[in-house]
């Protein structure tokens, strides 16, 4: 069943909810989900509304224009309109570790992720066989300090060719350059293997072991220029005990990583994530 | 700051959100919180809206009538209107165990619970001293099979005299009779010391030990005639290990019980709980 | 590095720990892990010791006999001796749902599970392609009420031929007959998609939705004749909210199921699970 | 029932467990609990054994000497011997926030904490009434930059006079000077209101809000000279959502703080905490 999702962000003003719900009601929209949030500190208003397209009185390609003219302009809204067809297109970047990749591919296989995966890019060949077994093209693009910016250009080219909507870094062990990131603002999802902001950077499980924490975690976030500092989409944790070695922390942590990353992708796919400064609103 | 909360329940129909938000907007209501939920199975619509009274154009004692005439009747709404002043009045029933009582009294002392506690009723004297140390009247009402219905009548009389809005059973080891319960529909909150529906009835920690579960829990729910079967407001759990004795399960469980009960009270106080059949909608 | 694991169960008596540790010390065993547990209710004693084989003074094939003669008989011990080479052999039974299977295969691929998987058996062909993509033989054995006992005989035959040590039911939608179960006591691991003992039997997510629970769970347990009543190895949970549909409970629950099942397998592989009556001791 | 607890720390050597268990067995000790841990990185060995005193063949006041001569010296062990009678003596330091204090007092009242509380010290009078209602002396000792070192001297004097074994900082809003800390190494337990090492220092809930984390936490740790950097005893977390204000984070976090602090006290009281460098071994 085809549905539309409207995402709205503007300064909080009286009458917004009334105007939007009136718009949908007037044009015979059957609302399925609607959420709002008012940020008291900043005075920002956020809204997400999902409704069925079948009975809607406005043609699919006219909704945006008409909403803009009759509602959005009056409230100086930033808004975006999304449909569940065609499916969004997601590229996956991996290195050697397979747990996040397999978790995503499993959901893709079972239909839990309504997404197209036109390609997987990796700086290693380690995961080529399983990716291709799922019928997905695998691009091996090794990275060295010398070829990095050149390879990134090629990667961006590939993303464009494949009309990729967003990128998932499924334990991709390379830091993307600002030049790459700026093309996909709030559209690159990374999984960091710590409970951010604790243990930013490399080897967080070693750092967690050394600090003697009793709980480890993982963080799914949008990538920004500052390392591991982008807006957090989802986090989760697992208990560890004194006798767990670093290797055991890694194994326990991987179970958290893969579930957190897949939840972040799920929220992103459902257009439930909105970014305000460095925070996220998650309508879940 | 004084605010009003409107709780609405009706059959889902197009235009409800528009009408309610239009009503608040038209009368200059500054919305602080608004949540809706549509139950797809039953076709029921739920809404909770909170707004500041100061700037609102309708007098406090006229809101209900005007909303009824201009909005509610049109949609055949069940609605209720609440204000944060005066504070709701809560009675606590206890037996001998102190952990839930102390947790509640601590929040009362610190101002976290915006509530009046006109009395604590107990079938034992064990907790009289600490209750009175908090300046709260303590009524000792022992229960035997013979005097139970007579004592319940006196308890109901006490609740009426003290204008009690809702009752909290903070590990009260007596089963209330249907006659008592019917006077406070969805207004008696009980904490059951298991993860319902597992281990209904007496001695759930013994049953949990015997079954060898790896996780124990607690459930805050409204009391209905059927034992431990009322609408669930909140649940939480704790991990246990094979070496934990029943006594340790009890101690570990009590930490869950008290936090779950206090969360259930908090949601009830904030009018965030709505009941549909035997399920709850929690706008949290 | 090769190591040995000794699992001991007997009535608690003074001197057991001394005798076992003396045995290992005397024969130059370098202890890596040692755990004990005394069940106060039953008076049972449990112990697990793991040590390096390299420096050990007794030949691998003599350890069992010598331990029996010099220690076990004196304390009337039940004991078993295990080595990490050769790897245990695990058969997987599946139906149509892929999430648990993929989770296991992912760990097998990455080397997290030190196990051989000689075959996957299924009553459907849905998962044949991905299983074979991992290089694992897939046996399609459809089950009808008429052919069930015959097919089970063939399955048992296949397990014997393949020298299978234990069986994992990764959301296998068939109830094994007592005849099958008795051949693999405490060696068939099932994942049940509820927080047992809540919601035994079919369609637990529907039951959870209907009951309005705020937390759902999954349970990994050994299969016994009584449905969903065998010794629990591991459990975990996830929070759900009123707006989650049954379909969403299923998706949220699957993430719990797969991690719980894989943890249960991990404990079983490491010989960390001991069964006492209907409870488990987990030396983790 | 009186019991003894032996805590051992030394370099890992073959035969330790055998020697200790032989010692207890030989002198007719009925072991209740025994745990070991070998830190592979450092080669350190840790052990905790608890046994009944009644049947033990050595007089209470001779155990330490005889264990030292017959076992400890041979292995160059650091060891300490503890009895559950008389009860340990705990001082509590508080400022204005009551939640951790009330949680501790509740457990003290119910007998869950087998401890004496000879005094509560505070730099404010806010909590004087409830403390005295529990029959515990309350010492008001205001702190200013000018009088701090003088007041700390008086506090140390009070601790000595009251034969205090360990100190609990139950949200005490003062930083203890190194001079104070050195007198109670690994005997001052603090609760920090964040999931350390995230958000060290003041106002962690504000920092958590600003960073947009999806989970907040609390950390119970021993106090060392470096702020919030001492060995972690226990941690726990709670989920938060985008709409939670800083004030709500504070309330949600306080429920975690009080339970984490009380668990840390419980482990400390049961002599289950051992410190190695900046990490803890928790035999729980």
pLDDT value for C47: 95
Verify whether the Cβ–Cβ distance A106 to C98 is below 8 Å. Answer: yes
**C-alpha torsion angle, residues D37, D39, D43, D44 (rounded to 10):** -50
Contact B259 D259 (CB under 8 A): yes
Contacts of D130 in chain B (CB under 8 A): 109, 133-134
What are residue B120's DSSP bridge partners?
A: B92, B138
Q: Which of B199, B214, B243 sits opposite C234 (nearest CB)?
A: B214
pLDDT surpassing 90 at residue D164: yes
- Against chain D, the chains showing at least 3 CB pairs within 8 Å are A, B, C
Question: What are the tokens at D15?
Answer: 């035969």
Choose the closest CB to C109 out of A98, A110, A262.
A98
Question: Partners of C166 in the beta sheet?
Answer: C90
Contact in structure between C278 and C234 (CB atoms under 8 Å)? no
Tokens 């038209």, residue located: B26
Rg of chain C in Å (alpha carbons): 21
pLDDT of residue B40: 82
Q: Which domains does chain A have, with CATH numbers?
A: 3-83 (3.30.70.260), 89-282 (3.40.50.170)
CB contact under 8 A, B214 and C197: no
Q: Is the pLDDT reported for residue A243 higher than 90?
A: yes
Q: Residue D73 — pLDDT band, cuts 50, 70, 90?
A: very high
Instruction: List, for residues D228-264, the tens digit of each pLDDT value.
Output: 999 999 999 999 999 999 999 999 999 999 999 999 9
Q: Do D17 and C31 touch (CB under 8 A)?
A: yes
pLDDT at B1: 84
Q: Do D195 and A198 touch (CB under 8 A)?
A: yes
User: Which residues of chain B approach chain D closer than 8 Å at the C-beta?
Assistant: 97-99, 102-103, 105-107, 109-110, 112, 130, 133-134, 251, 254-255, 259, 262
Q: Mean pLDDT of all residues in chain C?
A: 95
Greatest pairwise CA separation for chain C in angstroms: 63
pLDDT at B244: 95
Q: Which residue of A has its CA nearest to C242?
A: A284
**pLDDT the model gives residue D284:** 86
Rg (CA), chain A: 21
Is the Cβ–Cβ distance between C212 and B280 less than 8 Å? Answer: yes
Peptide bond into C86 cis (omega under 30): yes
Q: Rounded to whole angstroms, how far apart are CA atoms B228 and B219?
A: 9
Q: Which helix (H) or strand (E) holds D132?
A: helix D128-133
pLDDT digits (tens, 9 = 90+) for A135-145: 999 999 999 99
- B37-47 confidence digits (pLDDT tens): 988 889 999 99
* Contact state of A282 with D235 under an 8 Å Cβ cutoff: no
pLDDT in tens, C98-118: 999 999 999 999 999 999 999
- Of the candidates C12, C35, C228, C255, the residue annotated as catalytic is C228
Question: pLDDT for A95-132, tens place per residue?
Answer: 999 999 999 999 999 999 999 999 999 999 999 999 99
* Residue numbers in C near D31 (CB within 8 A): 14, 17, 38
- Residues C148, C167: Cα–Cα separation, whole Å: 18
CB atoms within 10 A of CB B54: 10
Locate all alpha helices (DSSP H) within C27-111, ordered by sequence.
63-67, 73-75, 99-110
Active site residues of D: 228
D79 contacts D4 by C-beta, under 8 angstroms: no
Cβ <8 Å between C14 and D34: no
Write out the two tokens for C28: 């130059």
Locate C20 and state its tokens: 């076992």
Residue D8 has pLDDT above 90, yes or no: yes
Residues D64 and D15: their CA atoms lie apart, in Å, by 20
Count residue pairs from C and D with Cβ separation < 8 A.
Answer: 42
Please name which of A113, A51, A56, A112 lies closest in space to residue A82, comparing C-alpha atoms: A51
User: What distance in Å separates the CA atoms of residue B215 and residue B239, rounded to the nearest whole number?
Assistant: 4
The whole-angstrom separation of Cα B136 and Cα B106 is 13
Confidence at residue D13, expressed as pLDDT on a 0 to 100 scale: 86
The pLDDT of residue B30: 83
User: What pLDDT does C18 receive?
Assistant: 84
Contact, A119 vs A155, CB < 8 A? Answer: no
Asked, as a colleague might, if the bond just before B86 is cis with ω within 30 of 0, I would say yes
Binned at pLDDT 50, 70 and 90, residue C267 comes out as very high
**Is C228 part of the annotated catalytic residue set?**
yes
Question: What's residue A33's pLDDT?
Answer: 87
Q: How far apart are CA A131 and CA A137, in angstroms?
A: 7
Q: How far D214 CA lies from chain C's nearest CA (Å)?
A: 14
pLDDT the model gives residue D262: 98
Residues B69, B282: Cα–Cα separation, whole Å: 28
Contact across the interface for B105 and D102, Cβ inside 8 Å: yes
For helices B16-26 and A16-26, what crossing angle results, to 10°?
150
Strand partners, B11: B44
Q: How many CB atoms lie within 10 A of CB A258?
A: 28
**Cα B75 from chain centroid?**
28
Question: What pLDDT score does D172 carry?
Answer: 97
Q: What does the alpha-carbon distance between residue A224 and residue A169 come to, in Å, rounded to a whole number?
A: 13
List residues bridging with C140 in a β-sheet: C122
Contacts of C276 (CB under 8 A, 6+ apart): C9, C39, C42, C44, C46
Whether residue A102 and residue C98 make contact (CB cut-off 8 A), yes or no, is: no
Residue B153 has pLDDT above 90, yes or no: yes
CB atoms within 10 A of CB C160: 10
Test mutation, D1, D32, D102, chain B, max B CBs within 10 A: D102
Cα D235–Cα D240–Cα D244 angle in degrees, nearest 5: 135
A105: tokens are: 């591919």
For range B164-185, the mean pLDDT: 97
CA of C224, closest CA in chain D: separation in Å? Answer: 30
What is the DSSP code string of B100-163? HHHHHHHHHHHTSS--EEEEEEESSSTTHHHHHHTT--EEE----TTTHHHHHHHHHHHHHHTT
The 10s digit of each residue's pLDDT in D184-203 is 999 999 999 999 999 998 99
Instruction: Record the tokens describing residue B223, joined without a space.
Output: 């009391």
H or E segment and range at residue D262: helix D246-269
3-state secondary structure at position B7: strand
Query: What ipTM describes this predicted complex?
Result: 0.94
Distances (CA, A) of B254 to A100, B99, B193, C262, D110: 37, 7, 8, 30, 12
Residues of chain D with pLDDT > 70, as a percent, come to 100
Query: How distant, in Å, are the alpha carbons of A94, A205, A219, A229, A254 from that of A199?
Result: 21, 8, 11, 11, 16
Nearest C-alpha neighbor of A237 from the set A216, A255, A254: A216
**Neighbouring C-beta atoms of residue D135, cutoff 10 Å:** 11
Q: How do residues D214-234 score in pLDDT, each as one tens digit? A: 999 999 999 999 999 999 999
Contacts of C105 (CB under 8 A, 6+ apart): A102, C130, C131, C134, C136
For A231, the closest of D199, D212, D215 (CB atoms) is D212
Burial class (CB in 10 A: 0-12, 13-18, 19+), A280: buried
Chains that touch A (3 or more CB pairs under 8 A): B, C, D
Per-residue burial over B126-163, b = 16 or more CB atoms within 10 Å of its CB, e = otherwise? ebeebbeebebebbebebeeeebeebbeebeebbeebe
Q: Which residues of B touch D262 (CB under 8 A)?
A: 255
- Tell me which chain C residues have a C-beta less than 8 angstroms from the C-beta of D32: 38
Locate tokens 């939480």: which residue?
A: B236
Name chain A contacts of C267, Cβ cutoff 8 Å: none
């Amino acid at each position: 069943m085809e549905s539309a999702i409207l995402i709205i962000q503007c300064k909080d003003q009286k009458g917004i909810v009334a105007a939007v719900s009136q718009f949908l009601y007037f044009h015979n929209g059957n609302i399925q989900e609607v959420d709002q949030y008012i940020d008291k500190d900043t005075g920002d208003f956020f809204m997400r509304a999902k409704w069925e397209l079948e009975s809607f009185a406005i043609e699919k390609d006219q909704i945006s224009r008409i909403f803009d003219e009759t509602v959005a302009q009056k409230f100086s809204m930033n808004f975006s309109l999304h449909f569940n067809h065609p499916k969004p297109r997601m590229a996956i970047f991996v290195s050697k570790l397979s747990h996040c990749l397999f978790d995503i591919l499993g959901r893709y296989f079972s239909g839990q992720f309504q997404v197209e995966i036109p390609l997987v890019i990796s700086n290693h060949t380690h995961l080529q066989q399983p990716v291709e077994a799922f019928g997905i093209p695998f691009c091996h693009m090794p990275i060295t300090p010398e070829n990095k910016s050149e390879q990134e250009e090629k990667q961006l080219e590939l993303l464009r060719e494949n009309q990729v909507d967003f990128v998932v870094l499924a334990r991709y062990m390379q830091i993307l350059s600002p030049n790459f990131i700026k093309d996909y603002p709030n559209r690159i999802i990374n999984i960091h293997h710590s409970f951010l902001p604790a243990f930013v950077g490399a080897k967080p499980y070693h750092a967690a072991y050394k600090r003697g924490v009793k709980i480890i975690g993982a963080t799914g976030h949008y990538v920004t220029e500052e390392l591991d500092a982008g807006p957090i989409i989802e986090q989760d944790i697992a208990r560890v005990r004194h006798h767990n070695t670093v290797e055991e922390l890694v194994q326990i942590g991987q179970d958290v990583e893969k579930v957190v990353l897949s939840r972040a992708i799920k929220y992103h796919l459902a257009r439930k994530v909105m970014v305000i400064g460095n925070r996220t609103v998650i309508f879940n």
